[in-house]
Amino acid sequence: MEETKTRKWRWGVNRWLVLLFAILTAVSVNYFFPVRPHIQVAAEAVSKKPLFSLGGDVYLTNTMLAMLVMDAIILALALAVRSYAKGGSLVPKGIYGAVEALMEALYNLTESSAGKWTKRIFPYFAAITLVVLVANWSKLLPGYETIGLLHHSDHGNPVQEILPGIYSLVQGDAHAETHDGYALIGFLRGLPTDLNFTVALALFSVFMTQVIGVRAQGLGYFLKFLNVRTIFTKPGFGAIDLAVGILELISELAKILSFAFRLFGNMFAGLVLLILIGTMLPTFLPSGIYLFEFFIGLIQAFVFGMLTMVFMAQATVGHGGEEHS
């Protein structure tokens, strides 16, 4: 009975919060008008001085800050699940229930593809999927791409002071001759929209696939890339095997590009869509786009993790189709 009252109270509070948010959104449109967006492929620097020099100056970028946010979310999630598990509750619910359902689904998928190598492959599958999922969803948090630093731009917008030391872009065309236009560089930017992040994930995925292959087959795993066993005994077939091995090597290297640009392309396109729709229709329609991006982020995380798991499972199988122990 008490639990039912609590649920009704929460539902009532949530309903009023949603209504309040809708009212604030409608009112804010009268004060914050849509402006020309600032879109750039490379991550933007948010520090004036370089952090260090390594063949060139390295600055603090907004995607670096976004990575810290992602790490904090994953750490908080892990601590919450650990705390709940220590509580001894037999019925999973809330965040713990969602995480348990996700991990169980991923484990079952791994078991159906990897067999006895499930326990070796599952941690990589789960970790990559969770990292990409949190990175994709975190860019939908308030403040991403909307709060940051203003910098001069010949094609920017005028600004107005809304509070002491706090400015907002406004509609209108700035004069290029006077350099009074500004563009916004957000403190936070979606992590998957930085090619450095997606390439790093792709390199890790492909590298660990080779590690799993060597664990399963030993150094003989590399014979699929350079098969010279029959080059002298059967020159004709040996040449074909050698050519196939070279194609396998090219295919393996191409996975890095495929992984990196698939995730980057989809998430960067989503970022551009959110910015453009938000500048044209700043009221309720962007909420639908955010919901769309929510599912796109989920799908892209699943695809990235699933392909990694499948490639790892294939690496445990010998060239002739036999599975190694």
Residue extents of the structural domains in the chain: 32-147+187-315
35 contacts 279 by C-beta, under 8 angstroms: yes
pLDDT score recorded for residue 107: 94
Identify any residues that bridge with 163 across adjacent strands, giving them in sequence order: 166
From CA 224, how far away is CA 317, in angstroms rounded? 11
Residue 305 identity (one-letter amino acid): G
* Dihedral of the alpha carbons of 158, 161, 167, 172, in degrees to the nearest 10: -20
Q: Which of 156, 251, 255, 243 is nearest to 205 (CA)?
A: 255
- φ/ψ (deg, to 5) at 7: -65, -45
CA distance 253 to 202: 10
Q: What phi, psi does 83 have (nearest 5°)?
A: -65, -40
Confidence (pTM)? 0.80
Q: What pLDDT does residue 313 have? A: 93
By the 8 A CB rule, do 124 and 208 touch?
Answer: yes
Q: What is the pLDDT of residue 189?
A: 87
Q: Specify the pLDDT at position 112.
A: 92
109-126 b/e (C-beta count within 10 Å ≥ 16 → b)? bbeebbeebbebbbebbb
Give the model's pLDDT for residue 176.
46
- The pLDDT profile of the chain, 325 residues, written as one tens digit per residue, is 555 555 555 656 667 776 776 676 666 655 555 555 566 778 888 888 888 887 788 888 889 999 999 999 999 998 888 888 787 666 777 788 888 889 999 999 999 988 899 999 999 999 999 999 999 999 888 888 778 888 777 767 777 777 777 777 776 665 544 456 777 788 888 889 889 999 999 999 999 999 999 999 888 888 888 776 666 666 666 677 778 778 888 888 999 999 999 998 888 887 777 766 666 655 555 666 777 788 888 999 999 999 999 999 999 986 554 555 5
pLDDT value at residue 161: 72
Check residue 115 and report its DSSP letter. Answer: G
Among candidate residues 307, 304, 302, 296, the one with its CA nearest the CA of residue 269 = 296
d(CA 264, CA 300): 10
